Chains A and B, each alone.
Chain A
Amino acid sequence: MKNPVSAKGVMRKVEIFVNLALIVVSCLLLGIVIKKTFLEKVAPPVKAEVVLELPGVDWSKRDQTLVLALSANCHYCTESAPLYRQLITDISAQANVRTVAVLPQPTAESQQYLKQLGVSPDEVIHTSLRSIGISATPTLLIVDRTGVISDLWVGRLNINNQLALRKRLHIASNDLATDTSGPTSVDASAIKRAFDRKAPVVIVDVEDREIYEVGHVPGAVNIPLDELEARANDELSPDDAIVVYCRNSELSGHAADVLIKNDGFRRVSILEGGLKQWQAAGYQQRAGKTP
């Protein structure tokens, strides 16, 4: 038969232990909240046209600085490494632009992370991203000579944003994309030039069949956007220079994204302004079904 007095004593001890554990956990949580709220410097969120204050960085050294705010724990940053490598390579050819990577991890750890990715910016800065107003990674900023943010992009960049970023850094190319150029946006005259020199270029109209049949760039094949993912590997070659277009550029960015992300196509360009620009340039269009 159990002794009710000793059972009661055990229960009492368990109760005291649980209470102590709860007090310790509460203190820890309180400490974290106090640290985050009062002790850690939190700057207002960064936005265009405000000055970015980054310890130890002299903005006046170059006309533009591309700031890559990354984190070693951010998988979007890791996945975007090919884009950063390409941008740094393109920027290195320009004397008036430099790149600075900002990470919350200690400098040695940050440098190791960037080395693993093959990303080599001009400078690596260790700072709390919250303290400079950056709440998400990756964030890419273009800062001018006076420290003013002229442009910023948060998150993984889609094709249209990549093209906009390249344009702002004056590394946009109005020629067909090559294996190493990254996506480009081209105007109608670039396509006409490619036709004239009989360059191997595949023009893809991503509108629905009915719209394509009304009028399209001569020689363009029709792969509607919602069929592109399924058909690209069978009907296009990753070695081809591909130009995608629609009526007025609304779908072509998505189409280029589908090709580059899902199917490994590298030489993808977008016809800026779509068929409207082609027509405005005075080039002929053709009607009828896909050849």
Chain B
Amino acid sequence: MRRTCHGSLFISLLLGCLYTSAVSAAGLQEDFAIVPEGVLRNLAKKIVMPKYPEASRKRGVKGRAVAQVDVDKGGNLTDVKIIEAPDADIEQAVLQAIQQWKFGSATAGEERKPVRLRGKLTFYFVLSGSQARVENPRKFQ
């Protein structure tokens, strides 16, 4: 019985250590280089502009949408979060468009190590008369 207790204790400690290592490794993976929008856009190899949702246009909804994107070391999009959007339809349109973006890989430091990137993308949903269009910020036009 006593031997069994010691055995359980050892296994628990081992599992605990493994868990701690796994968590710290995951923590390291959370490190991102935060980049300005201009840098992120320059790295983009494929850009898909969001479409103006018909429902939003009919309701006269316009405004700014901002998304936060994460890109892995290989340039693959790993996460998109919509931080701000005038309505749910526009949010969905931005999400669908950005999910098709492709990025080049980025490096940092003297050793030019590949890095994960986090940055924001901004779009303006503009209504003028019967015209509805989606624009990039003027800075990047």
Contact = CB atoms under 8 A, between A and B. Distances in A.
26 contacts: A209-B84, A226-B34, A226-B36, A226-B120, A227-B37, A227-B122, A229-B36, A229-B37, A229-B38, A229-B139, A230-B36, A230-B37, A230-B38, A230-B122, A230-B137, A231-B64, A231-B122, A231-B137, A232-B139, A233-B137, A233-B138, A233-B139, A234-B124, A234-B138, A234-B139, A263-B139
Nearest to B122: A230
A232 to B, nearest CB: 8
Interface string A232-250: 1110000000000000000
A231 B122 CA distance: 8
Nearest to A235: B64
A230 B137 CA distance: 6
B141 to A, nearest CB: 9
A233 B141 CA distance: 11
Contacts of A229: 36-38, 139
Contacts, number: 33
Interface residues of A, number: 10
Contacts of B64: 231
List of 10 A-B pairs having minimum Cβ-Cβ separation, nearest first = A230-B37, A233-B138, A230-B137, A230-B122, A233-B139, A234-B138, A234-B137, A230-B139, A229-B36, A227-B120
Contacts of A230: 36-38, 120, 122, 137, 139-140
A263 B64 CA distance: 19
A269 B64 CA distance: 26
Interface in A245-291: 263
B83 interface: yes
A209 B84 CA distance: 10
Interface in A184-240: 209, 226-227, 229-234
A231 B140 CA distance: 10
A226 B83 CA distance: 13
Interface string B103-141: 000000000000000001010100000000000011110
A210 B36 CA distance: 20
Contacts of B83: 209
A263 B138 CA distance: 11
Interface in B77-119: 83-84
Interface string B11-49: 000000000000000000000001011100000000000
Contacts of A234: 124, 137-139
A71 B66 CA distance: 44
Nearest to A228: B36
A230 B36 CA distance: 8
Interface string B62-78: 00101000000000000
A233 B140 CA distance: 10
A233 B38 CA distance: 14
B128 to A, nearest CB: 14
Contacts of B120: 226-227, 230
B72 to A, nearest CB: 20
